[in-house]
């Protein structure tokens, strides 16, 4: 072209129909991959007048993830899904007010404490799956994707809204699940049909709207039942019913709650079930990886009941999941559009609002990033440090959970569930292919998953269904455990107990939860929290002569609701009122509030110092956002240095506060995802397989390593 730009390549099409027939009707994404091989990393297709640009190299994907230039586009299949769930979180267009309200109301419900609180219910459903497989025995082939779909749907329904589909007790799926399945399939099909052909699909259209009706009625009933019989459950439904948007002061409407209840079921079930199915397929095809994963579970969990503390130690399994999502991203593509007219790749013009699909299934195989063996399954490249380095060197090279503000809010949920299920199954079963010659085929709806994949399993090491049931319920004593892996919290070691106080400033529970965990874990190390109270309880009453730990957030630069009095009080003092106070502050914040990022923890830290207080450790800060790998990594790095500085100074200057240091360190790690943990799970403390350091260890330098879960 005369202006130096180039035409985006692509196949020529038929009049009116364009390239409609070019995509495989069952697995269109395979055609997209083939077209990328043929036309290169950027090409365009025309679907009856609507043009879509497809990009598939890491470089282009990296460029398209720049949220200053490109925003999520709700087009194609998502536009059809909107017929059922309107402006629910997944399908909302950029700028729609209900998205903002729901996002802010729901973020706390996906924070680390809230997700950890769902562990028991996740365990319950994973246990049902295990018991089913154990009782069926090795002679019955397992239809892998079906059972994982039962698992993920039941888990979501139970954890999100306290509803039991009881899918493992029925051969037929619940009518809601049937309706949702066919609604999603039809949404995909509708998006690929030229508009003028709709008359030919009257019956399907009728069924489609019947399905929507059934889904909405079921969700409405769940909502009505909860309203009529309120419960003290702290689940997503409770958050939606009771939460108020801190920005607008608005609550979610009933219809928005229904939209989002269905959205969670849609967005969260096939994605996670596909991930688990692909992961098992990979393990069965790669015996070495299978062995390493199973060894890790044996090492970390032993033969006892799986506890939430174990999950953070399953590094190899985490790497297996990451590598699986790299090669088989269950949402194989997502779409953005330029905010203004743009030139991409340095030479292709794309007008404002042009839909651009990011083909992850191709970009995540880019040899520029993953080398010549990109097509091989190698979990090792996804181990924590390697994964970090990769993301630092090639930003946005791993995007299975989407991008930026519109990235997956359910990621911590999915990650916890997937780790638990992998661990539980590998701990208790041996697996094999039902058909050793099975070659991977793909089934595509909104997501992709293996098609026709069957496994068989047998219980391990003399387990019977009965003893498995004991193990799952925690009945079996962990005798013969290869390694306990985790020191039980809450049991004080013998000897004199040392006191300290913990105060929190918290609106949505992150800092409060961290404060309680600190207090609880301290016991097992000979320290006892005298109080764990809101900061306002320390108003005019900060305990002298013992370490005081403050863990607090900020809200629009202001103190949380239970910390205002305290902050107001200390900032009004001007002498040496804190002379006898020794303290450490830990701040949870979110860099979206850039002007007031960590304002309150920093203010408390500097004010206490100004008033003569002894700082026993430098302030620790964490960012709840961490959408981008670079910031997550930066946060992890900050935490490492924070941790070592804190350890030293707590030990040297407060002498007796070792545990406080250690616990604060683990707080620092856990606090990363904070209440807004939409995309980034906690940066978890890893003690390199060892138990937390004991008092006897305190003079020995302890090497910590950190892992940033994806
Ligand atoms: C392995 C599992 C999962 C994967 C791979 C995944 C992937 C994704 C991706 C790629 C997006 C962005 C889509 C886009 O830009 O159009 C997304 C968004 C979303 N996901 Fe997930 N997801 C998973 C699990 C879950 C779970 C368990 C839930 C619910 C508990 C969930 C709820 C959502 C929601 C509500 C959104 C829309 C967020 C927004 O736009 O504000 N996802 N997910
Ligand atoms: C409405 C709102 C306003 C916020 N304002 C700030 C802020 O000004 N500065 C900051 O660093 N973080 C801010 N955050 C992030 C929170 O402080 C952070 O998510 C923290 O982890 C919340 O802790 P909590 O769950 O204990 O209340 C804000 C979050 C929300 C929802």
- Of the pLDDT bands very low, low, confident and very high (cuts 50, 70, 90), residue 465 is very high
Given the residues 183, 278, 401, 500, the one annotated as active site: 401
Separation CA 656–CA 39 (nearest Å): 66
Give residue ranges with CB within 6 A of ligand 2. Answer: 104, 108, 246-247, 506-512, 553-557, 560, 588-590, 593, 596-599, 624, 674-676
Answer for the pair 567, 600: CB distance below 8 angstroms, yes or no. yes
Q: What pLDDT was estimated at residue 138?
A: 86
Separation CA 203–CA 583 (nearest Å): 69
Lowest-pLDDT range of 7-16, 455-464, 539-548, 631-640 = 631-640
Answer for the pair 404, 65: CB distance below 8 angstroms, yes or no. yes
Residue pLDDT, tens place only, 300-312 = 999 999 999 999 9
Separation CA 557–CA 396 (nearest Å): 31
Nearest of 310, 399, 683, 152 to residue 302 by alpha carbon: 310
Instruction: List the residue whose alpha carbon is closest to atom 30 of ligand 2.
Output: 555
Q: What pLDDT was estimated at residue 668?
A: 39
Nearest of 600, 589, 606, 575 to residue 673 by alpha carbon: 589
SS3 of 558-582: the string is ECCCCCHHHHHHHHHCCCCCCCCCE
Distance between Cα 621 and ligand 1 center (Å): 27
Residue pLDDT, tens place only, 117-168 = 999 999 999 999 999 999 999 889 999 999 999 999 999 999 999 999 999 9
Q: What is the mean pLDDT of residues 616-645?
A: 56
Q: What pLDDT was estimated at residue 189?
A: 86
Q: What pLDDT was estimated at residue 385?
A: 93
Question: Whose atoms come closest to the Cα of 515: which ligand?
Answer: 2
Pocket mutation for ligand 1, best pick of 408, 414, 445 (most atoms within 8 Å of C-beta): 408
Instruction: List the residue whose alpha carbon is closest to atom 2 of ligand 2.
Output: 555
Any idea what DSSP says for residue 6? B
Burial 425-451 (b: 16+ CB within 10 A, else e): bbbbbebebbeeebeeebbbbbbbbbe
Mode of pairing for the β-strands spanning 441-444 and 448-451: antiparallel
Q: What is the mean pLDDT of residues 182-200?
A: 84
Share of the chain above pLDDT 90, in %: 61
Q: What pLDDT was estimated at residue 524?
A: 67
Give the list of residues 6+ apart from residue 397 with CB closer than 8 angstroms, or none: 58, 61, 62, 363, 364, 366, 369, 370, 390, 391
Q: What pLDDT was estimated at residue 499?
A: 84
Atom of ligand 2 nearest to the CA of 591: 11
User: Helices (H), strands (E): how many in the chain?
Assistant: 24, 20
Structure tokens at 236: 């997503």
Residue whose token pair is 């994964």: 387
Residue pLDDT, tens place only, 401-448 = 999 999 999 999 999 999 999 999 999 999 988 988 899 999 998 899
Instruction: List the residue whose alpha carbon is closest to atom 18 of ligand 2.
Output: 589
CA distances from 551 to 45, 417, 560, 599 (A): 53, 28, 11, 13
- Of the pLDDT bands very low, low, confident and very high (cuts 50, 70, 90), residue 3 is confident
Separation CA 468–CA 475 (nearest Å): 10
Residue pLDDT, tens place only, 472-483 = 998 754 444 333
Ramachandran quadrant class, 557 (left: phi over 0; alpha: psi -120 to 50; beta: rest)? left
Answer for the pair 77, 208: CB distance below 8 angstroms, yes or no. no
CA distances from 644 to 511, 666, 668 (A): 22, 12, 12
Answer for the pair 314, 297: CB distance below 8 angstroms, yes or no. yes
Q: Dihedral sign for Cα 321, 323, 326, 332, please.
A: negative
Answer for the pair 552, 588: CB distance below 8 angstroms, yes or no. yes
Instruction: List the residue whose alpha carbon is closest to atom 17 of ligand 1.
Output: 408
Q: How many CA atoms lie within 13 A of 34 on its CB side?
A: 9
Q: What pLDDT was estimated at residue 194?
A: 75
Question: Whose atoms come closest to the Cα of 331: which ligand?
Answer: 1
Residue pLDDT, tens place only, 311-343 = 999 999 999 999 999 999 999 999 999 999 999
Separation CA 554–CA 657 (nearest Å): 26
Lowest-pLDDT range of 57-61, 565-569, 610-614 = 565-569
Q: How confident is the prediction for the chain on average, in pLDDT?
A: 84
Atom of ligand 2 nearest to the CA of 513: 26
Mode of pairing for the β-strands spanning 454-459 and 429-433: antiparallel
Residue pLDDT, tens place only, 439-463 = 999 999 889 999 999 999 989 877 9
Is 60 exceeded by the pLDDT of residue 658? no
Atom of ligand 2 nearest to the CA of 674: 21
- Cβ neighbours around 339 below 10 Å, total: 15
DSSP three-state, residue 540: coil
Q: Is the CB of 275 under 6 A from ligand 1?
A: yes
Instruction: List the residue whose alpha carbon is closest to atom 21 of ligand 2.
Output: 674
Structure tokens at 316: 């190899």
Indicate if 401 belongs to the active site: yes
Atom of ligand 1 nearest to the CA of 331: 10
Lowest-pLDDT range of 15-29, 192-206, 338-352, 510-524 = 510-524
Residue pLDDT, tens place only, 364-400 = 999 999 999 999 999 999 999 999 999 999 999 999 9
SS3 of 244-268: the string is ECCCCCCECCHHHHHHHHHHHHHHH
Lowest-pLDDT range of 194-203, 288-297, 689-698 = 689-698
Distance between Cα 505 and ligand 2 center (Å): 11
Answer for the pair 697, 674: CB distance below 8 angstroms, yes or no. no
Answer for the pair 117, 423: CB distance below 8 angstroms, yes or no. no
Directed axis angle between helix 315-327 and helix 384-393, to 10°? 40
Q: How many CA atoms lie within 13 A of 571 on its CB side?
A: 14
Question: Whose atoms come closest to the Cα of 595: which ligand?
Answer: 2
Given the residues 55, 159, 397, 408, the one annotated as active site: 408
ipTM surpassing 0.90: no
DSSP three-state, residue 294: helix
Q: What pLDDT was estimated at residue 525?
A: 63
DSSP-assigned states of every residue in 417-445: HHHHHHHHHHHHEEEEESSTT---EEEES
Distance between Cα 254 and ligand 1 center (Å): 22
Separation CA 121–CA 132 (nearest Å): 17
Is 60 exceeded by the pLDDT of residue 681? no
Nearest of 488, 453, 351 to residue 44 by alpha carbon: 351
Given the residues 145, 271, 324, 355, the one annotated as active site: 271
Q: Decide which of 692 and 329 is more confident.
A: 329
Pocket mutation for ligand 1, best pick of 64, 109, 271 (most atoms within 8 Å of C-beta): 271
Atom of ligand 2 nearest to the CA of 551: 26
Burial 466-481 (b: 16+ CB within 10 A, else e): ebbbebbeeebebeee
Separation CA 413–CA 416 (nearest Å): 5
Distance between Cα 586 and ligand 2 center (Å): 13
Give the list of residues 6+ apart from residue 689 with CB closer than 8 angstroms, or none: 299, 300, 313, 483, 485
Atom of ligand 1 nearest to the CA of 90: 37
H helix intervals, 117-253: 119-136, 144-161, 175-192, 202-228, 236-242
Separation CA 606–CA 619 (nearest Å): 9
Distance between Cα 572 and ligand 1 center (Å): 46
pTM of the complete model beyond 0.80: no
Residue whose token pair is 């949404």: 187
Q: Which residues pair with 43 in a beta bridge?
A: 54
Separation CA 464–CA 137 (nearest Å): 10
Q: How many residues does the chain have?
A: 710
Distance between Cα 504 and ligand 2 center (Å): 13
Q: What pLDDT was estimated at residue 476?
A: 52
Q: Is the CB of 89 under 6 A from ligand 1?
A: yes
Q: What pLDDT was estimated at residue 286?
A: 92
Give the list of residues 6+ apart from residue 272 with CB closer than 8 angstroms, or none: 148, 152, 330, 414, 417, 418
Separation CA 104–CA 244 (nearest Å): 9
SS3 of 542-558: the string is CCCCCEEEEEECCECCE
Share of the chain above pLDDT 70, in %: 84
As a whole number of angstroms, the longest Cα–Cα distance in the chain is 85
Pocket mutation for ligand 1, best pick of 118, 237, 410 (most atoms within 8 Å of C-beta): 410
Distance between Cα 533 and ligand 2 center (Å): 19
Q: Is the CB of 72 under 6 A from ligand 1?
A: yes
Q: Is the CB of 400 under 6 A from ligand 1?
A: yes
Is 50 exceeded by the pLDDT of residue 707? no
Helix, strand, coil % (nearest 5) of the chain? 50, 15, 35
Give the list of residues 6+ apart from residue 672 with CB closer than 8 angstroms, or none: 622, 623, 624, 626, 632, 635, 636, 639, 680, 682, 683
Indicate if 271 belongs to the active site: yes
Residue pLDDT, tens place only, 525-560 = 667 888 788 887 787 789 988 889 999 999 989 988
Q: Is the CB of 70 under 6 A from ligand 1?
A: no
Answer for the pair 184, 266: CB distance below 8 angstroms, yes or no. yes
């Amino acid at each position: 072209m005369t202006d130096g730009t180039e035409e985006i390549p692509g196949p020529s099409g038929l009049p009116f129909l364009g390239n409609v027939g070019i995509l495989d009707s069952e697995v269109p994404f395979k055609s997209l991959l083939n077209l990328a091989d043929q036309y290169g990393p950027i090409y365009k297709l025309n679907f009856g007048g609507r043009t879509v640009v497809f990009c598939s190299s890491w470089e282009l994907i990296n460029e398209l993830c720049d949220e200053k230039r490109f925003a999520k586009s709700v087009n194609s299949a998502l536009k059809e899904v909107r017929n059922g769930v309107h402006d629910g979180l997944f399908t909302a267009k950029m700028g729609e007010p209900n998205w903002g309200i729901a996002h802010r109301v729901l973020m706390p419900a996906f924070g680390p404490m809230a997700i950890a609180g769902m562990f028991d219910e996740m365990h319950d459903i994973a246990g049902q799956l295990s018991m089913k497989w154990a009782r069926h025995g090795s002679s019955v082939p397992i239809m892998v994707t079906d059972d994982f779909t039962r698992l993920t749907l039941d888990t979501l329904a139970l954890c999100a809204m306290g509803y039991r589909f009881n899918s493992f007790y029925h051969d037929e799926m619940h009518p809601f699940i049937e309706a949702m399945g066919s609604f999603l399939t039809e949404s995909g099909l509708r998006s690929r049909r030229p508009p003028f052909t709709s008359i030919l699909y009257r019956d399907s259209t009728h069924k489609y709207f019947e399905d929507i009706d059934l889904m909405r009625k079921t969700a409405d009933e769940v909502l009505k039942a909860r309203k009529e019989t309120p419960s003290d459950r702290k689940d997503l439904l409770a958050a939606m019913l009771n939460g108020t948007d801190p920005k607008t002061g608005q609550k979610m409407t009933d219809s928005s709650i229904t939209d989002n209840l269905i959205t969670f079921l849609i967005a969260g079930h096939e994605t996670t079930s596909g991930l688990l199915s692909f992961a098992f397929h990979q393990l069965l095809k790669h015996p070495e990886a299978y062995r390493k994963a199973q060894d890790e579970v044996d090492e970390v969990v032993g033969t006892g009941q799986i506890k939430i503390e174990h999950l953070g130690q399953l590094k190899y399994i985490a790497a297996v999941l990451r590598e699986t999502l790299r090669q088989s991203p269950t949402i194989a593509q997502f779409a953005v559009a330029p905010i203004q007219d743009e030139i991409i790749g340095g030479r292709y013009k794309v007008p404002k609002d042009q839909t651009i699909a990011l083909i992850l299934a191709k970009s995540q195989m880019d040899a520029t990033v993953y080398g010549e063996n990109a097509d091989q399954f190698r979990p090792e490249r996804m181990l924590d440090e390697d994964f970090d380095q990769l993301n630092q060197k090639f930003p946005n090279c791993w995007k299975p959970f989407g991008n930026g503000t519109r990235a997956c809010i359910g990621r911590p949920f999915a990650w916890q569930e997937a780790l638990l299920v992998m661990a539980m199954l590998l701990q208790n079963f041996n697996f094999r292919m039902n058909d050793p010659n099975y070659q991977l085929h793909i089934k595509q709806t909104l997501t992709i998953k293996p098609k026709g994949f069957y496994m068989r399993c047998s219980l391990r090491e003399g387990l019977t269904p009965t003893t498995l049931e004991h193990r799952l319920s925690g009945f079996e004593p962990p005798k013969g455990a290869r390694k306990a892996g985790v020191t039980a919290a809450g049991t004080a070691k013998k000897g004199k107990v040392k006191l300290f106080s913990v105060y929190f400033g918290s609106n949505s529970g992150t800092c409060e939860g961290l404060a309680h965990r600190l207090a609880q874990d301290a016991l097992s190390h000979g320290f006892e929290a005298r109080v764990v109270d809101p900061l306002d309880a320390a108003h005019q009453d900060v305990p002298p002569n013992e370490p005081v730990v403050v863990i607090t957030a900020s809200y629009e630069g202001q103190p949380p609701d239970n910390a205002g009095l305290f902050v107001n009080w200390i900032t009004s003092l001007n002498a040496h009122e804190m002379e006898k106070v020794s303290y450490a502050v830990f701040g949870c914040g979110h860099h979206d509030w850039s002007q007031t990022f960590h304002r309150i923890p920093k203010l408390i830290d500097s004010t206490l110092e100004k008033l003569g207080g002894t700082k026993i450790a430098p302030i620790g800060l964490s960012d709840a956002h961490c959408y981008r790998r670079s910031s997550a990594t930066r946060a992890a790095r900050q935490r490492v240095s924070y941790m070592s500085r804190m350890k030293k100074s707590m030990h040297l200057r407060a002498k007796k506060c070792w545990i406080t240091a250690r616990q604060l360190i683990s707080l620092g790690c856990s606090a990363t995802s904070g209440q807004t943990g939409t995309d980034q799970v906690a940066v978890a403390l890893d003690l390199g397989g060892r138990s937390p350091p004991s008092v006897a260890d305190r003079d020995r330098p302890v090497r910590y390593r950190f892992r940033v879960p994806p």
